[in-house]
Amino acid sequence: MKNLFFTAGYVPSIADEAITWHTLVYEAKDKRLEVKVPVLTPAQILTVAKTIRTAAQSKIKTLSVSDIVRAIDLAVLQLLDVNHPDRKCIDTLLPTVTGMDATMLQYNFSQYLRTFRALQLNRFIVEDFGNPQLLDAFQPRITGGWTKAVGADLISHIWAGNVPGLPLWSLISGLLVKAGAIGRVSSAEPICATIFTKVLIGIEPRFAECLSVIWWPTEDTDTARQVFQLSDTVLAYGGNDALASIKSQVPVTTRYLPHGHKLSLAIVSASALSVVRAKRIAALAALDIVRYEQQGCYSPQMIYVERGAQVSPKEFAQLLASELAGLAHKYPRSKLTLNEISAIAGWRESHELATLNSPNIQVLGDKNDDYVVIYSDTALPLQPSPLNRCVTVAAVHSLEDTLSFLSEKRMYLQTVGVATNPESLLAISESLAHCGVTRICAIGEMTSPSAGWHHDGRFSLLDLVTMVDIESSTETSANGLSDYEL
């Protein structure tokens, strides 16, 4: 077995030898990886927080947004180079850390990184602010007066590890609004945030004291409370129970922005179910299912398929199973934990028992296959799957029939992948919006949100700033006190 070693985290103003390091161990195939993560004392956390707050004021807030975008773009460009040592490190370590297929991870990570190139980041900023200069200086308002967007001095990021590279989204968002950051990496994926932070600092040294990447055990609520008390904003990803626990630790005066588990699905209209179109849509849906093993909140767990077309819902389910079988050879499923194996087996067996009593249920895929497709010839309520390439395909007479199922899950809905014609797109989107869906995209793009998307229906950047207004009365008063006014 090949042994690999990596030191994660980044701590400004404190020497490595003064830090306590905890070792996380990962094993996959013939590799064993030991990752050291920094665990700080209360005094060290206080030192780091003070350092970041001071540097945020004196360094990052003095940079223009265009300078920040340029630095991020150069860092991303460096990591897009698969021959660069930092990218090679990511590509080498992520398969062992996540258990996911190396080829799939490399492709997906490159696609993800492209979201953070300069052109996309500029669109990202304009999406929320309209005028990017609001982040640099007071800008005139149409109604009179002036306005400026001011980012926090210190944002705490609590990152989940279900999707590799996830920390980059919130970390970059914070940088765009000129906020300092303390990021707590997940034990499930401590690699990407570390490497990105160090690459970025190498490109723009003024970030060196504005960022920190650390770790603490989930059960260490004392450390969490201290970090949150020192922060202006807490941005957290995770399960709903974990987020509720974090909320209880965040001071009432601190802004708390949670992103919990969500449920996503796809709908396929009759207009997409000609022989040629159906095969193409099935292939795209299979990619959405395989990417990140459905671990992302935007991955489809159910697909509703409309009747009355050349290809029936049952035939679409068969096409989907065939595409998943093909992808299993190209991108083998990640190594499953015992709990994941048990969950999939139980889910499969429950549907196999249902087939004994109902001819409307079919289980596609052998027990030894790296996927499970459940087909229902009758409409079913929206339900989560056990993930890891498990999906339910349900037939509906009309896409409108799905709306009552979606309304029942309003609080958990996020992305819906849609395959329909232009004539019905806006109508079905309007209905989905009223059901609580916050993102509608093409099937095949479900796991690749566009730059500036409104995560869970919220603003990615606006939620991280405070708007400061100079009212027109202030300007009028100032004019009356000028040297040229009697």
Question: How do residues 67-101 score in pLDDT, each as one tens digit?
Answer: 999 999 999 999 999 999 999 999 999 999 999 99
pLDDT tens per residue across span 225-279:
999 999 999 999 998 899 999 999 999 999 999 998 899 999 999 999 999 999 9
Higher pLDDT, 127 or 390: 390
Q: Where residue 30 falls among pLDDT bands split at 50, 70, 90? A: confident
The overall average pLDDT reported for the chain is 94
Sheet with 139-140, edge to edge strand ranges: 139-140, 146-151, 465-470
Q: Which of 131-135, 160-164, 178-182, 452-456 has the lowest mean pLDDT?
A: 452-456
pLDDT tens per residue across span 450-467:
877 888 888 889 999 999
pLDDT tens per residue across span 2-28:
999 999 999 999 999 999 999 999 998
Q: Where residue 162 falls among pLDDT bands split at 50, 70, 90? A: confident
pLDDT at 389 over 90: yes
pLDDT of residue 43: 97
**What separation in angstroms does the CA of 51 have from each of 199, 202, 209, 297?**
20, 19, 6, 35
Q: What is the mean pLDDT of residues 349-372?
A: 90
Q: What is the mean pLDDT of residues 31-56?
A: 97
Q: Where residue 211 falls among pLDDT bands split at 50, 70, 90? A: very high
Torsion, Cα 61 66 70 71, to 10 degrees, reads 0
Indicate the residue type of 18. Answer: A
Q: Where residue 134 falls among pLDDT bands split at 50, 70, 90? A: very high
Q: What is the pTM of this model?
A: 0.93
pLDDT at 45 over 80: yes
Distance CA 99, CA 105 (A): 10
pLDDT tens per residue across span 303-351:
999 999 999 999 999 999 999 999 999 999 988 999 999 999 999 999 9
pLDDT of residue 356: 85
Which is it for the CA torsion 54, 58, 64, 66, positive or negative?
negative
pLDDT at 485 over 70: no
pLDDT of residue 486: 58
Q: What is the mean pLDDT of residues 364-384?
A: 93
